[in-house]
Structure 1
């Protein structure tokens, strides 16, 4: 892998058997802790987040001069970390 100066991971292309994640509008007014993220030099941006004892993935896409943010459903932490690994491996989108 070439050195690009980026410290966060870049997502590979989706695999042929890629799992489709369901994306929903973000919950507002919730305290969220971002625990991992993809590189900000490529969009969409993804973040692994925790809130209220559960975890989820957040996606931000830049369209029409604005950021559109969506989130997955909430999972137990172990499930969210497994889905994050799948995302980073091209096995989920």
Structure 2
């Protein structure tokens, strides 16, 4: 489900409610491992936490931002991009948190 555009800007997808037997993701504090991270997809900023599917150094990971400041970000393990994208979709569908 998408949030309606606000003045023509894309705000991101909404995350489904967590399912009963959802996989628990091991979140670690975000560390500056590389000088460039590309955010490939993100969830809507109207709900916390905000999730971002990120790519860097040929790998992928999901970043979780709780609250209003990006300094409070956690991230999943760094995986192949395909595995990170799979984790992203499991989070969006409520199958992982």
- In structure 1, the partner of 2:45 is 40
- TM-score with structure 1 length normalisation? 0.87
Q: What 5-or-longer segments of structure 1 have no aligned partner?
A: none
- TM-score with structure 2 length normalisation? 0.83
- In structure 2, the partner of 1:21 is 25
CA distance in 1, matches of 2:3, 2:63: 24
Regions of 4+ moved over 2 Å: none
Query: How many residues are paired up?
Result: 90
CA RMSD of aligned residues (A): 1.9
Q: By how many angstroms is 1:29 displaced?
A: 5.6
Q: By how many angstroms is 1:74 displaced?
A: 0.4
> Where is the strand percentage greater, Structure 1 or Structure 2?
1
CA distance in 2, matches of 1:87, 1:77: 15
Pair 45,4 (structure 1): closer, same or farther in 2 beyond 3 Å: closer
Contact persistence 2:3–2:14 (CA under 8 A): no
Q: What 5-or-longer segments of structure 2 have no aligned partner?
A: none
